[in-house]
Structure 1
Amino acid sequence: MNDVKVEKLLINYKTLEKFKRFKEYGNQELSMLEDLQSNIVENDSESPFYGIYFGNALVARMSLYKVDKKYDLYFEPAHDYLVLWKLEVLPDYRGNNYGKALVEFAKSYNLPIKTNPRINSQGFWEKMGFQKAKYEMERDFGENPLIWMPDGVNEKDLKSN
């Protein structure tokens, strides 16, 4: 896994073409085409998209958004945190630690991370050290968020309103 490199993906039509390959596999809720299309302005725009290439083929991707602590619904006291959204590895490339490499890249920011498990991925997230968010408020858009805490941020900091 040492030679796996996570790259920031440009917001452009070339990346849009690469994203279409992911949509072929039918995980509509994971489709980032619409997200990318709405963000296409120019190559140097701030991109929330990251990926791993095998040769010239984009084989794994995720989107990663930073949330300012003023919008924090998860921690007390409030923290800046990351939302890791729509992590996906193409079927032929699963089992090569590409998903783990993307998660480790997100963890390298040393901020709390929130994600929502999708399509039988709960076990993967648990192996990556994520735990169920412990707060008593309405569900997170109908989903069950998982939280990862970096060293120095305690689980007791999770809100329990």
Structure 2
Amino acid sequence: MGELKVERLLINYKTLEEFKRFKEYGNQELSMLEDLQSNIVENNSDSPFYGIYYGDTLIARMSLYKVDKKYDKFFDPPHDYLELWKLEVLPHYRGKGYGRKLVDFAKTYALPIKTNPRVNSHGFWEKLGFQKAKYEMERDFGQNPLLWLPNGVLERTNS
């Protein structure tokens, strides 16, 4: 994999053009174009988008949002957590560890991470230590959330 690193992506029209390349290959539910377009204000905005470049080509990306503990329905006691909303790797680069590199980057924040697996990706998330949420709330918009817990964080149960 070499010296490739995860970078915070700028919210600008260059990134918008790079995201269009993913739309050509990807699943519509993973499209981040609309998310990016609604966030385009200026380059120095706090971007929720992260990516890996191979040369000048964006080859892997994710959106990562911090959720305040006042909205937490998953952990006891309540915690701030990260929602890994979308993760995608261009087809030619899949199976080479780039998705793992993005998730490992998210884990460096040492906060719990919640994701809703998409497109037959349960096995990927489970290999990275994510588990089904035990707390049966009104399902997360019809999804089955998976959670990753750093040491010392307890998941809420139905009791």
Determine helix, strand or coil for the equivalent of 1:14. helix
Percent of aligned pairs with the same amino acid: 77
Q: Which residue of the partner structure matches residue 142 of structure 2? A: 142
| Residues 29-76 of structure 1 deviation map (CA, whole Å, 9 limit, x = unaligned) | 000000000000000001000000001000000000000100101111
Map 1:62-101 to 2 at 5 A: 62-101=62-101
Aligned AA (1:160): N
For these two proteins, the number of residue pairs brought into alignment is: 159
Cα displacement (A) at 1:138:
1.0
Cα displacement (A) at 1:153:
1.7
Q: Which residue of the partner structure matches residue 16 of structure 1? A: 16
Q: Which residue of the partner structure matches residue 28 of structure 2? A: 28
Q: Which residue of the partner structure matches residue 60 of structure 1? A: 60
Cα displacement (A) at 1:95:
1.4
Asked if the contact 1:82/1:114 (under 8 Å) is kept, the reply is: yes
Aligned AA (1:20): K
Cα displacement (A) at 1:136:
1.9
Asked if the contact 1:67/1:82 (under 8 Å) is kept, the reply is: yes
Map 1:35-54 to 2 at 5 A: 35-54=35-54
Determine helix, strand or coil for the equivalent of 2:25. coil
Q: Which residue of the partner structure matches residue 130 of structure 1? A: 130
Query: What RMSD, in angstroms, separates the aligned Cα atoms of the two structures?
Result: 1.1
CA distance in 1, matches of 2:143, 2:44: 33
Q: Which runs of 4+ in 1 moved over 4 A?
A: none
CA distance in 2, matches of 1:40, 1:27: 22
TM-score, normalisation: structure 1: 0.95
Unaligned runs of 5+ in 2: none
- Give the direction of change, closer, same or farther, for the CA distance of 1:104–1:2 in structure 2 (3 Å limit): farther
CA distance in 2, matches of 1:39, 1:116: 22
CA distance in 2, matches of 1:98, 1:131: 21
Determine helix, strand or coil for the equivalent of 2:74. coil
CA distance in 1, matches of 2:119, 2:93: 17
TM-score, normalisation: structure 2: 0.97
